[in-house]
Chains A and B, each alone.
Chain A
């Protein structure tokens, strides 16, 4: 594959998407009133973001609900057209949805099914084979490979509705990859799955990316997904780009805190004087302290409190992200 439009597989410049929604108020009277007159508001879901992704990269999209992640993904896959800005995937303008473009991408949404509900996955796969013009040999090879990696063999001949959520998701992903897309969009692929299924899908995506050099864009609520898969993350909030870089850098540059966990023989004395008390159980207290004060507070604790054990940690990445978002809101 050669990219006529440069080395990137995805290029986004100053992308914006504005929705018009009507405002709703609470209460019986207000809802009657809104029958007659309704108020409209313009909401910028994506508000001028710029980035590019090289072929073979796996990029995690982070942001709270409503940050604009899904909107961006839909614009990239061609379901939405942008209000303004430039957008290019594999050299195509996505929203034109040219056949040639559609044959090279795949979108998997964790909350939506594409496979026919009542029939076995293998039959839907066969339909996809015809629709995507996959040769029988390629199909066979790809199916073998996917079934091996995802452990699909026992599932292929059961109706989708009889599968568990995790099994269904594995089939969904397989269906989306039969045509070997060069760009893969995953919107919350592990949502609602148990930990084992999440891990299985994670390692599969990594493997697919390694074998085929596909570009992967992923949104997820589970930081574990992002930590396992993405060396690079893009954080968006209120439609704006907050951070674009590697995961470790995100924690370093955004977390001004450390967590100190203190264990004691007995009791849980009030340690509010040392830092913000995050949790306090019998014999164990967790404190949040500013990064620069860590050494000083630790010393004081060891000195003044009957400590049996003490550990200092970076806050979990979720907390860092949450912190970033709440900072931004202020």
Chain B
């Protein structure tokens, strides 16, 4: 059901976008270009040193891979859908979703797709494959499995985080601003959060879950993930998914009560 919905929104997205020829080329170009920029930034740093706080170049490429992949997923469907959700609440068009015979959380979560972000997803995967090829010796099937699990957890945490923020718009009008903060802070994830001073690391771990979205999965492939972090990430993901679901349902009840 979820996939079917996603596909139909994807199809609409494709048709909408293809109307603008320039967009197609421009967006491809932009994705490549921003990736090249990040790599060039890495190159500048590694022209002066061979490791950054213990992270070797290939490992930082892996971090960048996860950053690009996760950023791609967020911008592909999570961010646009959540933005639209807040709009729906503000304009009252959420009524349409609530009266459809589908789970409203699912519907609202996939309703808007920015197809060009698929390019980021693809490039993130390419980067990861390259990085893994380079780190070959230390990544066995076990590590790969853990890596996949951590990616899923990271995505779940980011999604729940966005959903909770967007759900706040049932009570507060101006939530967009907080989302801008997240988007800005996400930039910091291009580097492992372990290099940042304590206060910034704390912010990036608990206030804005950049650490779990990017650094933790990258730690899984570079062999520095402890059992504690692994279990913690899984537990946090499960807890946030459950909590955000509960929060969403509460929000919807509040919305229906208020507008009835």
Contact = CB atoms under 8 A, between A and B. Distances in A.
A and B touch in the complex (CB under 8 A): yes
A123 to B, nearest CB: 23
A31 B24 contact: no
Interface in A1-60: 24, 27-28, 31-32, 34-35, 38
A24 B19 contact: yes
A28 B15 contact: yes
Interface string B1-21: 000000000010011001101
Nearest to A31: B18
A34 B15 contact: no
A28 B11 contact: yes
Interface residues of B, number: 7
A31 B11 contact: no
A42 B19 CA distance: 19
A39 to B, nearest CB: 12
Contacts of B21: 34-35, 38
Contacts of B11: 28
Contacts of B19: 24, 31, 34
Nearest to B25: A35
A118 B18 CA distance: 36
Nearest to A26: B15
Contacts of A38: 21
**Does more than half of chain B's interface fall in helix, strand or loop, or is it mixed?**
helix
Contacts of A34: 18-19, 21
Nearest to A38: B21
Contacts of A35: 18, 21, 24
Interface residues of A, number: 8
Interface in B10-67: 11, 14-15, 18-19, 21, 24
B10 to A, nearest CB: 11
A165 to B, nearest CB: 16
A27 B15 CA distance: 7
B14 A28 contact: yes
Contacts of B14: 28
A318 B18 CA distance: 39
Contacts of A31: 15, 18-19
A27 B24 CA distance: 17
Q: Which of B14, B18, B24 has the most CB of A within 10 A?
A: B18
B12 to A, nearest CB: 10
A27 B14 CA distance: 11
Nearest to B23: A35
A38 B19 CA distance: 10
A185 to B, nearest CB: 32
Q: Which of A32, A34, A35, A38 has the most CB of B within 10 A?
A: A35
A5 to B, nearest CB: 44
A258 B63 CA distance: 78
A32 B11 CA distance: 12
A31 B20 CA distance: 9
A228 to B, nearest CB: 34
Contacts of A24: 19
B11 to A, nearest CB: 7
B184 to A, nearest CB: 23
A112 to B, nearest CB: 21
A38 B21 CA distance: 9
A49 to B, nearest CB: 32
Given A28-B18, A31-B19, A35-B18, 12 more contacts: A24-B19, A27-B15, A28-B11, A28-B14, A28-B15, A31-B15, A32-B18, A34-B18, A34-B19, A34-B21, A35-B21, A35-B24
Interface of A: 24, 27-28, 31-32, 34-35, 38
17 contacts: A24-B19, A27-B15, A28-B11, A28-B14, A28-B15, A28-B18, A31-B15, A31-B18, A31-B19, A32-B18, A34-B18, A34-B19, A34-B21, A35-B18, A35-B21, A35-B24, A38-B21
Closest 9 interchain pairs by CB? A31-B18, A35-B21, A28-B15, A31-B15, A31-B19, A32-B18, A35-B24, A35-B18, A24-B19
